[in-house]
Structure 1
């Protein structure tokens, strides 16, 4: 039986209020409707009780980076009506597990992952919306030390086609992480251009997953539709053991 600490509830409530205020202010500055921007609570290193607190406060989009954490948390909160977003690098050997609970996978970065995830989704009889992860590092490709992962922007449409070949997968848009030490606004502007090209081919692929606790304002300015917020909501937490 889970036990939610009243102090933790109030802490998360205050953090959520502050995050939403930042989002609303950024939308006002950018001339956007806050309704266009969805908040995904990234709960890595936080217990399932925090997921329950967030759900009680109206947050139903939950993100995780690691299957080892996500799978048990999804199982422990199966009674809640949540959308689970897998946002970390996906390894082929984790695709079977991820396909059982993820509604969205933000980190499709190669054709092999699209194929494997598609096979696992079909076996689990689940439909999954996939985002192509785009590498915004101007001077490095995925696999280079310092790279945040993802495909070269010019390869986005080809990978989206590979996603669409899978019966139980659909292309939903793009995701990226701002380069370390770079200008997030410039990086997210490049992502927006890629997103527009993808949407021209697949009109339903409207998701732009960009922006985290430290750069959400820049992401909103450049058209982000989904923000992946962890620290600003839940604070710095000790890693879960096991």
Structure 2
């Protein structure tokens, strides 16, 4: 049972793809979890191996560790061995995702690879007309929506997933968001698609309106999920060049077109 505790980046993507190929259950943990939430998630999933960077590994004193390198020029990864009590998983479980960081005991959901592939395929079919070949990840990869729609779906259609530290796209921790940083990142990377939470879309829209700016023209789809999105917010965003759609519209197979 492999858990990862990484910021968005190459290390997360390599670990996720490697676990899938090896048939190892992957438990991606978001960086904004508290120490208590991490301990709860690790115990609930019966994790015996944790990959993270040395700074985070220091939070697990006494755990046997060995260095790993995915890239000779990159920072080494700490592979920690954790004491664990095995936990029974449903047959075919490929990933355990923890859905909420709002309580001390976040809930884990077991996912099969076939089910994730079906959702990723449906997303690809619903957005095919947009010819999306560049996706910029703005939410943590450990969040299910970004994990499937921002990683697995682009991987299936051989599109580029732009994986950069979350702070560089304006997301700091679990709740602080800087729309000016997101605007700069989108201008720099010129992606075709993003996934945002409703409050992020609202903040970006308000910032654009206040500054007299528009969203970069490269964008073809900004999927908004995690909570209900009102039609007035979607309309306001579109007036400023943000092609915003509720994520459920694309996931359920309704065609997304500009």
TM bucket (normalised to shorter chain) is 0.3 to 0.5
Given the two structures, how large is their TM-score scaled by the length of structure 2?
Answer: 0.31
Higher relative contact order (CA 8 A, sep 6+): 1
Between structures 1 and 2, the one with greater helix share: 1
Larger Rg: 2
Between structures 1 and 2, the one with greater strand share: 2
Given the two structures, how large is their TM-score scaled by the length of structure 1?
Answer: 0.33
